[in-house]
Amino acid sequence: MDRRLAVIGAVCILEAGFRILSGHVAVDGLAWTLAARLVEMAVILVVAFRHCGVLTASIPRDLAAGVAASFVFGGLVIIADLVSRTFIDGGALAMLLARQPFDRWLLYFATACMVGPFVEELFFRGLLYSWIRQGLPAWACIALTSVLFASMHGRISVVQLVGGVLFATLYEWRRNIWPGFVLHAAANFGLWVLPVVHPLM
């Protein structure tokens, strides 16, 4: 059996277990999510380190590709929001984004902007995408894993679908998770901070 498939199954079981137990433990939901992602990360890295997309010829070069993609995408989002204000009251971002609490900023940053995106990239692109890509063309893998990625967030939304497409496209281009991780982390950080700092929101 392909090691990636075994780890995909193990992570799905772990995720289901953590979700089932979440209603029965007296732990903060964000801390519980962080614990789940840390356990999943350990399983992926220990069992499938060579197969999860972390290996690359140059981590700095791939991180730089992610930073560049983040600046380009962030700029396009701001421009699209400004343009949308001509026909949407308050702009498209106001419709898509909700203010998140800042009272537990360190826990939120660790969970939603660092560990969460890293584990999701390991799983969805490093393992799942690379496994499916053996038998399907890139466009089909990008579409399928993007829908699965978006559905994992509770409901399929435009934000998660677009993110899934971008992260998978970066994986297809660079064949590792690092550029997608940087963009994913930056996007989550932007979703959290933008509603607070955007001067027109």
Per-residue pLDDT at 152 exceeds 90: no
pLDDT tens digits along 175-185: 999 999 999 99
- Spell out the domain ranges in the chain: 3-197
Q: State the CB neighbour count (10 A cutoff) for residue 2.
A: 13
| Percent of the chain whose pLDDT exceeds 70 | 95
pLDDT tens digits along 27-81: 898 999 999 999 999 999 999 999 999 999 999 999 999 999 999 999 998 898 8
Q: State the CB neighbour count (10 A cutoff) for residue 1.
A: 6
**CA distance readout (Å), 163 to 92, 143, 182, 185:** 16, 11, 12, 11
Q: What is the mean pLDDT of residues 8-35?
A: 93
Q: What is the mean pLDDT of residues 86-110?
A: 81
Q: What is the mean pLDDT of residues 96-103?
A: 72
pTM of the model: 0.93
201 vs 130, which has greater pLDDT?
130
Contact 45, 55 (CB under 8 A): no
